[in-house]
Amino acid sequence: MDATSDSKRLGAVKLSRVTFRATNRDSDPTAAKTVAAAQTPRTTSNVKPPPSEASPKPTDTKKAAPSISLSGLLAAQRMTLRLKNQAALRRKARARTPNRKPIAIINEQVPSGSANPPQRFPYSLAKELIQEFLMAKLRNVTYDPSTSGDLTKTLCEDIKKVVRRVTPPRYKLICNMAIGSRNREDVLVTSQCLWDSYSDNVTSCSFQNATMFCVATVYAVYFE
C-alpha cells in the first residue's frame, strides 16, 4: 500500500515541472536538459523560405486607371470658359450699379452776395425755341451785305419776344447776333460778360444755309 501510494505520488509529481526538476535533477541529467529546452521560449525565425517555382505568383490587385476621352476633355474646357465669362459679367454688372444710395440735397447753399431767384432761367427750353425760330426765318434767305444789319436787329427783337414767353419774372434778356457769308471763309465768334453765375444764365444757337451763317446768343440777367 505504501509503494502504490508512493507511485501515485510520483506520478502526480511528474505532472508538475518544478517538482520534477527538484527531485530528478541529479538522477536524470538528460531529462533536465529536455525540461530546460521545453521551458526556453521559442523564437520565430525572420528568414523567409525561398519561393518555390511551383508556388503561385501574387496577383496584381491594382485597378486600371479609367481612360479620358478627348471629347470629354473639350467639353470640360468649354464649361470652365463659360463659367469664367459669367463671373466676369457679374463683376462688371456690380461695378456699373453701385450699392450706394444717391445723396439728396435738401437745401442748396446760395453763395454770399448772389441773388436767389425763386425760379431759374430755362436755358435748354430757350435754346430749342431759338433754334426753331432761326430755321423758320432763315431757311430760304440769301446773304446780302447791304440788308444784313437790318435783318440782325429785327431777328434779335423777335428772339427776345419768343424767349420772354418762358422766362421767369425779374429777368432781363440781352440778345446778340452775328450774320456772315459762307464764301470759303472761317469766322470765330466769342462773347464775354461779367455777371452772377448763380442766378444768371446764357444760351446760344447757330444756323447756316447755302449762302450764310447766323449765330444768336441770349443772356438772361436777374434783377432783384
Which of 140, 151, 141, 133 has its CA nearest to residue 205?
133
Which of 206, 210, 205 has its CA nearest to residue 142?
210
Has residue 83 been placed in a domain?
Answer: no
Has residue 189 been placed in a domain?
Answer: yes
Q: Return d(Cα 71, Cα 78) in angstroms, integer.
A: 11
Has residue 101 been placed in a domain?
Answer: no
Q: Return d(Cα 107, Cα 120) in angstroms, integer.
A: 16
DSSP, collapsed to helix, strand or coil, labels residue 116 as coil
Has residue 211 been placed in a domain?
Answer: yes
CATH of the domain at 204: 3.30.1140.40
Check: pTM over 0.85? Answer yes or no: no
Q: How many domains does the chain have?
A: 1
Has residue 154 been placed in a domain?
Answer: yes
DSSP, collapsed to helix, strand or coil, labels residue 218 as strand
**Burial class (CB within 10 angstroms; exposed 0-12, middle 13-18, buried 19+) of 126:** buried
What's the pLDDT at 92?
A: 79
Q: pLDDT 10s digit of each residue in the chain, 224 long?
A: 444 455 445 444 444 444 445 444 444 555 555 545 555 555 444 545 555 554 555 555 555 555 667 788 888 888 898 898 888 888 877 776 666 666 665 556 777 778 888 899 999 999 999 999 999 999 999 999 899 999 999 999 999 999 999 999 999 999 999 998 888 667 777 777 788 888 999 999 999 998 999 999 999 999 87
What's the pLDDT at 73?
A: 83
Helix (H) or strand (E) holding 154: helix 148-164
Match 529546452 to its residue by C-alpha cell: 37
What's the pLDDT at 137?
A: 93
Has residue 168 been placed in a domain?
Answer: yes
* Domain that residue 144 falls in: 123-222
Has residue 18 been placed in a domain?
Answer: no
